[in-house]
Amino acid sequence: MSTATAYERARAEGRAALVGYLPAGFPTRERSIEAIKAMVEAGCDVIEVGLPYSDPVMDGPTIQAAAQQALDAGTRTTDVLHTVEAVAATGVPTVVMTYWGPVERYGVARFAADLASAGGAGLITPDLTPDSGAEWIAAADDHGLDKVFLVAPSSTDERIAMTTAACRGFVYATAVMGVTGARESTSDLAGPLVARTRKATGLPIGVGLGVSNGDQAAEVAGYADGVIVGSAFVRVLLDHADDPAAGLAALRALTEDLAAGVRRA
């Protein structure tokens, strides 16, 4: 199921979609699946499954720490696909968020085929641009997978037009310059970026900029089609590493707060 379906459903309800991220294999393979399913039950409309990578140059310390835990536990690309399969079975569109290196090593055509057979909706590729992504675009088109590329405040209007033309599913607007991470306040760069991107495409626009609570989610949902949250979810599990049950309860509470936020906007 394409992520566009979830965005359409949210729009029909007069709200933004809540997109939640967790790395596969964190804290363990089984617990990551349990955690993501809890996020789905508590209100996430789309799930991003992170593929842990050894050189996460665009990730902040929170997601780096989680990815390292997953790698130390032996998480491999096949485990990521297993996680996608388990989460997609809930009926929620499930995409993989990954740096390009692991996909290339796995084999681009093979990755697309295996992702599709696992029920995955598509791929978010933060370090791959459409003008250097011909092999992925062809493989994704062969299997009807979403192609989610990123636009940023530094993107020119021409770059935004080129990027959005290559997207399918939604467009990822990263409104924080620098690495990812939860922040105390939302960025004043996000609204103008969304407005510029809307001029170039009719696709839904999801915004990722360090949202960590329902009030921030409501603010972003006021102008974006989707609110993307990653570090805040990861932080909850890191903070409850010694008590998995408490971590799961806190994760549900955070998801419910964020889900209420996107409905308040």
59, 146, 219, 225: which is the annotated catalytic residue? 59
| Residue 158 falls in the annotated catalytic set | no
- Choosing from 8, 30, 48, 131, which is the catalytic residue? 48
| Secondary structure in 3-state letters for the chain | CCHHHHHHHHHHCCCCEEEEEEECCCCCHHHHHHHHHHHHHCCCCEEEEECCCCCCCCCCHHHHHHHHHHHHCCCCHHHHHHHHHHHHCCCCCEEEECCHHHHHHHCHHHHHHHHHHCCCCEEECCCCCHHHCHHHHHHHHHHCCEEECEECCCCCHHHHHHHHHHCECCEEEECCCCCCCCCCCCCCCHHHHHHHHHCCCCCCEEEECCCCCHHHHHHHHCCCCEEEECHHHHHHHHHCCCCHHHHHHHHHHHHHHHHHHHHHC
CA distance linking residue 47 with residue 64, whole number of Å: 19
- 48 catalytic, yes or no? yes
- Catalytic sites, residue numbers: 48, 59
